[in-house]
Amino acid sequence: MQISVYISATLRAFVNKQAKIEIEGETVREILQHLQDEYPESKNALFDENGALRPFVSVYLNDTRISTDGAWDSSVRENDTVLLLPSIAGGAPVGSVISDERRKEVSLDDSEIERFNKHLMLREIGVKGQKRIKAAKVLIIGLGALGAPVVQYLAAAGVGTIGIADSGEVSLGDLQSQVIHGTRDVHRPKIASARDSIKAINPKIKIDTFSENLDADNIGDIIADYDIVVDCTDNYRTRYLISDACALSGKPEVFGAVYQFEGQVSVFDAKSGPCFRCQFPSPPPVGLVPTCASSGIINTLPGIIGSIQANEVLKLIIGGGESLTGKLLVVDTWNNRTSIVNVQKDENCPVCGRNPSITEIENFDYEDFCGLKPDEDEIPVEGIEAEELVRRIEKGDPLTLVDVREPHERAIHRFPNAIVIPIGQLARRQKELDPDVDTIFICREGKRSILAINTLREAGYKGPMYNLKGGIEAAKNIIFSHEGAWL
């Protein structure tokens, strides 16, 4: 029978540039052999000198990866499809996202020639590259630790139009790593502080500001006028929202993420490689993976990762260099290790795959996808306010306090009478709890403690359990400044 064989873009040169070929065969092995017979050049591309499939090539039968030839003798059925998918090498020289027409529309005055003279001396940039930088429009979403260096370096580089989006205010704790803000900016909107910093660096830059929360209704309009979107956010909901919007609108997204001592950078561009969903199909359960806010971060890391993001943006604008499209750069600053892994385009991706199920940003429920909506079938978790917890402790009510935070978090604020039980140990250590006494679960933001309670419920624990609402972060001004503070 005839089976449809789909050929990934990087292999099409070996099959007369065809994306889909109809091949006769009863098994995957026969299909691959007939493919080689019909297109002899494909043999060296797919197999090594010993006849083994090259490591960078994956063979899929429908939705199942069968790259080990032990499964190639399975019979195929009518309407089955075979996909040949190599690892996307990435790193190829990139073309500029700025057309020659747009470049020719701008000019550099004498002050700009002096300001950007070090760029002009570089053969790879020169006058044409600097004019492209001036013509470019870049949107930076998130003005925290990553957004700070991205904004600063792109402003200093002379990007003509910079959009900045953030709905938050500067806090004192932000100043350790968010170097675009200063002490005088505490309690100011981040976009106001960032706008002042950009103007101080380069007053000729056009600045667009967006203070509203991003959602499916406004993301499309916000990114519409920009050439590149830079994701400097710190939550999964917004990351998927940004990536989907970029993939559907054909815009490149420069992604960055940081955690403790490790950071990641990639360029997701659905037109020429994978999107964010290809690498990360779904987020972890809410509260399971700690954030930077709950686990800390060395303050130099965002500067390193943000600078690499800015560098990727400039390469996309100028054209040339090796792009991180189809690659993920991982940097471990504590152990001085870096690695680059290939990111495959997922042909079954719901956004950029062969048969996408998400075709409009409005159709997708990001709150539900990221686990931010309560499960209607799940028993609600009861919470207790910090004021009530203080009252009950001072009254001498029998309580069991369980702290599920990481050790370094407890070094800042701790309850000396709390039992310390990491979430992963709760099920086997439930006998340490008294089912006749109220148990209060404590974490930093009140999310992991909810996960802890649900974990114990699944393990069969029947005692009364309560979540400290908002966690330590919401309660610290009440509990730890109290006359009988428990530090």
Q: Reply yes or no on whether the pLDDT at 353 is more than 80.
A: yes
Comparing 158-167, 377-386, 395-404, the range with the smallest average pLDDT is 377-386
Confidence of residue 306 (pLDDT cuts 50, 70, 90): very high
165 and 78 fall within a common domain: no
353 and 416 fall within a common domain: no
Annotated catalytic residue within 232, 352, 370, 443: 443
Residue 165 falls inside a structural domain: yes
229 and 286 fall within a common domain: yes
Examine the fold and report which residue of 29, 56, 86 is the final residue of a domain before the chain moves on.
Answer: 86
pLDDT score recorded for residue 81: 85
- The rounded distance, in Å, linking the Cα atoms of 267 and 317 is 13
- What backbone phi and psi angles, to 5 degrees, belong to 377? -90, -5
27 and 162 fall within a common domain: no
195 and 316 fall within a common domain: yes
Question: Has 278 been annotated as catalytic?
Answer: no
**Local structure of 487: helix, strand or coil:** coil
Q: Reply yes or no on whether the pLDDT at 257 is more than 70.
A: yes
Residue 166 falls inside a structural domain: yes
CB atoms within 10 A of CB 466: 18
Confidence of residue 92 (pLDDT cuts 50, 70, 90): very low
Question: Has 443 been annotated as catalytic?
Answer: yes
Annotated catalytic residue within 232, 278, 292, 349: 292
Chain mean pLDDT for the chain: 83
Confidence of residue 288 (pLDDT cuts 50, 70, 90): very low
CATH code, domain carrying 427 = 3.40.250.10
The mean pLDDT value for 12-25 works out to: 81
59 and 107 fall within a common domain: no
The mean pLDDT value for 257-263 works out to: 85
215 and 268 fall within a common domain: yes
- The rounded distance, in Å, linking the Cα atoms of 249 and 223 is 9
Examine the fold and report which residue of 86, 113, 128 is the final residue of a domain before the chain moves on.
Answer: 86
472 and 440 fall within a common domain: yes
Confidence of residue 143 (pLDDT cuts 50, 70, 90): very high
Residue 225: exposure state from Cβ atoms within 10 A (0-12, 13-18, ≥19): exposed
Residue 397: give the domain boundaries.
383-479
Name residue 100's amino acid.
Answer: D
Q: What's the structural domain count of the chain?
A: 3
Which range in 20-24, 37-41, 150-154, 397-401 is most confidently predicted, on average pLDDT?
150-154
- The rounded distance, in Å, linking the Cα atoms of 374 and 378 is 8
Confidence of residue 186 (pLDDT cuts 50, 70, 90): very high
Confidence of residue 272 (pLDDT cuts 50, 70, 90): confident
pLDDT score recorded for residue 102: 92
Beta strands in 205-323 (DSSP E): 206-210, 228-231, 253-259, 262-268
Confidence of residue 161 (pLDDT cuts 50, 70, 90): very high
105 and 60 fall within a common domain: no
Q: Reply yes or no on whether the pLDDT at 338 is more than 60.
A: yes
Task: Judge whether 469 and 476 are in contact, CB under 8 Å.
Answer: no
Q: Reply yes or no on whether the pLDDT at 222 is more than 80.
A: yes
358 and 412 fall within a common domain: no
pLDDT score recorded for residue 483: 39
pLDDT score recorded for residue 482: 44
pLDDT score recorded for residue 127: 95
The mean pLDDT value for 222-248 works out to: 91
Greater confidence (190 vs 62) lies with: 190
pLDDT score recorded for residue 379: 62
* pTM for the predicted model, two decimal places: 0.66
155 and 289 fall within a common domain: yes
Per-residue pLDDT tens digits for 454-479: 888 888 888 899 888 888 776 666 65
Q: Which residues lie across from 163 on neighbouring strands?
A: 139, 208
Residue 39 falls inside a structural domain: yes
332 and 415 fall within a common domain: no
Residue 394 falls inside a structural domain: yes
Q: Reply yes or no on whether the pLDDT at 209 is more than 90.
A: yes
